[in-house]
Structures are given as C-alpha cells and as structure tokens.
A and B are shown apart, each in its own frame.
Chain A
C-alpha cells in the first residue's frame, strides 16, 4: 500500500505542532505558580482519571498532564503557528514595592505587531521598578531541511512510513526527558516553594513566551549554562529543544524558608556565653570574699556548681555519711563535667563553698554560732561525728581538740550540716568521761579555761562547740585563704582563736603533740579517736588524778589530760576548779557532780 507522502508530511507536521504544545505545557506546568492553592495540591490531580475519559490532548505522546491554564491559553496559538520557534523565558521577579492589592497576578496578552510580530504573554503588569532576572530560557524549534520538505516519491516511501512513527517515538522519549529535566532544575524549587505555601512572598515567577530568540539582557547570558536535548531527526528536518538556565539562584530567594543546615549555636539562651552573669573571672586562686560574691543564689546552676565543688581536702565520701554528706558527694562527683561545661567557673570554688556554707548555716541542725550558751545540738553533732567513727571514717581536727587556737591540721571534718542529733552512745560516753551530753555549753567554757590556763584539753572533753565549729571552719580553711575567710565562724572564733593562726601552723600548738599534729587520713583520725576514747578515764575517777592532770602546760598528751576534766552540764563550774586549785569541799562537790552525771547518762542509755 503506498503511503501518501502528503499525508505523511501532514502527520509529521501535526506531530511537530503537538510537540510544541506539549513541551510548552510541560514547561509552564512546572514554572507557572498557581494563584489558588486549590489548583495545586502537591500531587498530581487529574480531571480525567481513566483512560477512557482521556482528553485528546492527553493522549498525545502518551503523556497525560495536569491542567495548566497558562499553557492552555497558548496551545491554540502554537497549533496555528507556522512552526515558528518558541522561546519561553522563566523570569524571577523580586518585588521591592509589594502591594497587597496586587497579590493576584494577572495574565495580560499583548500582541506586539510593530516589532517582531510576537506574542508576548506577560504576567507582570505591575513590575514597575521590580527586579527581574531570567533564570531559564527554553527554546523549541524545528529546523527544516531545505529541499527536503517534500520527499520524493521514490526511495523515501519506505522511510516516510516509518519516519512519522520514528518521529513520534523519539518525540515521546524527548518529552519524557523534558518532563524529568524540568523537575531537576533549580527553578523548580522556586516554583514548589511559591506553590507550597499561601504566604505572600517578595519574589515570584513569571513567564514570557516569544516567537523569536532575543538576546538576554546584561550578564544573564554569561551566567547561564546550556543544556541541549538531542535533536530528533526527521526526513525533513530536526526537532530541537535547548535550555539556558542559571545553575544557582539561591541568593535571590534568601528570604525563603529554606531549612538551614544544622548549625552550632554558641550563645543559646541559658548558655554561659549569653549570660554575662555566668561569666566568672578565670582566676587560679580566688580571693574569697563572700560579701563580694556577685552570684549569690541567683541561678540554680551557680548554686549547684557551688555545691558541686567541695574543698579538695575533704575526705572521700563514705556511704554511711549523713544526707548532707551524700548530697555533697553527689555534687562532688559532678564536678568534672560542670567544670568542663563552664570552664570559667572553676576558680569560683571559693564562692561555691561560701554558698554551701551559707546553706549549712541555715540548716536547722547546724548552729555555728559560738554563743556563750552553745546549743545542745552542737554537742549532739559532735557526738554524731564521734559515733560515726564506728561505721565510717571521720576526720577529726585533732589540732582543734582541746586547743583554743585552731592550728596546724589540714584535716577537716566533713561537710555535714544537717546532722541529726542522735542519742549519744552510752559506750562512748562511758569510755570517755569527758564527753559531755550538753558539751556545747561546757566545751566553750572549758576551752576558755584551758586557753587561759594553758591546760591541755583532751579531745573528748574538748570544747565540742569549738570542735563542731572548727570542723566547719576547717572545711573552709583548708581550701581557702584563711585571711579571707570572713564568715560567722571566724568572727565568733576570733574571741578564742588566735587570728594569726593558720591551719597547719603550730604557733600555739604547744598543746599539740607531734603524733596528733597532722592527721591526714580518715583512718588515722579514727584511730586517734579510738585511742583517745580508750585512754579516756571513766567518769568515776580519782580526784587526785584529776588534780594532777590539771597542771598547766604539758602538751605531750593533751587527750590524757583533757579527760581528767569532768564533763559538766552547766557553766556554773568555775574556772578555779579547772585550774586545779581545789579544796576538799570542792572535790566532794565535784564528786557529786560526777555521780549525777553518771546517773543521768545511765538513765538516758537505759531508754529505748
């Protein structure tokens, strides 16, 4: 059957014409933002879902496309054109003077017959003063071969029957590639961005379709890259699709909500870099001054850090410690991370301790006030500390015991402000007659007496008040500059303690023997305490022995000496008794006191 060449030519022309329309449809479908979001749901929406109701134009090239009003308005024109080249410019418009009334772009058709006889579809009728930038230029044209339009009826018959088929098949492939390529270009992202949200943006996409290729303005052409689709050769010519595009247009849409790459924000709210209050001077040795501390308790973190930095000389935490100690050790374990997180906070340990100390001050069980009438809980605290020696190592500032001046020892008692006053162990009391039940009151007095008379005071009957005070003081002093310490204790202790004395010094440590001068380990302190208790005479003791003990200034064995001082619940005992000058009546009275105390202790121990 002979193939009518004219029909073939007509078919080819029809294929080319439809190709122009289809390519314009593909381009504008993905470059022309819809006014209403209803038209674009993010997914393809087809008016005709089944092939039976497929529109004729959808069947062309076996590619059913989404409706595009902008494309549909121009398709008829291209169907009527004489295969003139089609140039589609995709223009990015930056609107500097945005007017809400112009939020809906209008399509305006202008036919400029004067110049190039071109159709100009301009959706930019209000772009006065707006920045425009051509980001894509699509050129679709059919280059006919001269002299080959009308093929001879000879040997080209066989080819013409397949030429339209081949042309059609290759056109299908080309349009497939065009469809995929359109979605891989940068302009597609802008299109999706405009369509995705209903926000009014300062930029938009418009398109212009020309029938002639006009040179690009300014440096647009130099910035553009070219991509040429392989032309589809036909017997009468070749179908070409080429593209000029800007490889990157992100700078023009900088205001867009493009998700940023993850960034590290150094000055986030709450960070030490953002909060000037959290910036601490990086001093290696802070000049501690609680009054000048700028932090106070404004921030919990600062409080926590202060809590987290106990004195370095503190013993390692023991599980049998009290709650406060547990609390303290818990924060202590957190010291490294906090320090690393806030490196400038490290020198502020002095402040930390001050706050921590203040916290202890407010502890109900802890009364650091060296008032003349020391509170029983203090004595109870001391007893608590002593009792703990059975189950846990306890640092005992032996240098403080029985001695007015706080001297020499680096040992500190642990931080344990909320010490629960417990009933003293009878066994301990029995071992040491010098352990007062209400030692607080006595201890102060005894300490005063000892200080004035130079009598060594054993650790047992030591001014428990001073001991209890001393441990807290020592806990600071071992880590702080003694001279800078200006807490309550210091003020109170100034009455009794030589302010020139420093921990570790033995200025007035004539009372301190060498074995007790420095107790650096908990075990040694416990051992010392145990020894002291062992050596402590019973409550009932020889009066003569007590008289001998009361001799002044024998620092060798202060514990042995101090044990001779009977515990007394009241301050009524005069200093003359302690001094050793006693009469017989005094001795008898003293014996009576001893008896009373003993019975009281027995009664207390007998209670459950």
Chain B
C-alpha cells in the first residue's frame, strides 16, 4: 500500500474494535451481496399498508397526488413554450426553425430528448 494512501486514511479498515461483529464475518467473501437487499418498491409491497391502520399515515399515503392543473408544454430542444408537436417523433417544438432541426436529428438524440421528459420508448 502506497504511503500517501495510508497517511491520508481514506481507506476503511476491515476490523474495528467497537464492533461486535466484523464486516468480514457478516458478509463472507464470495457471495453476491447485492441481491440480499430489497429495493424500495419491494419494501413497500412487503409492508402491505392496506392491511393495517387505515387512516394512519404511511409511506404511500403521504405521496402527493398528480397536479390538478393541466401541464404547460415546453419545447424539448430550446425550453420555450411549445404549442406544436412533431407527429413522427412526438417531440414538442416552439417554431418552424426548431422543427427543421428536429427532422435532421438522428434517432439516438430523439430518444435522449424524450427521455428527459420520461417519454422515451423503452424496450424491455
């Protein structure tokens, strides 16, 4: 181990005195650790909030509802207000010059612009 790395103390030591169980024992080497942990979606499913305590606040109750106002449409390329939509690519645009540029875009860029708005075509 290089001396400057050691002196900077940036590495985490594998053994600590104040721990009752060390990391190495808890997670033996060789096993894939990532899949042990449930992601948030799975946690929420497992919690099963409908089963108990109607009315008590829980993680899902608290979530804000969709907006009551119709959303304003903004141009995907420039950000100005966009009254028009390109039927081929479903990108929104503000004026004809931007439309010209949209038509010259390769497909990769079209999908990236759409993914900004969470509207890209996702093939799973």
Q: Do A and B bind each other?
A: no
B-side residues, CB < 8 A to A, are none
Interface residues of A (CB under 8 A from B): none
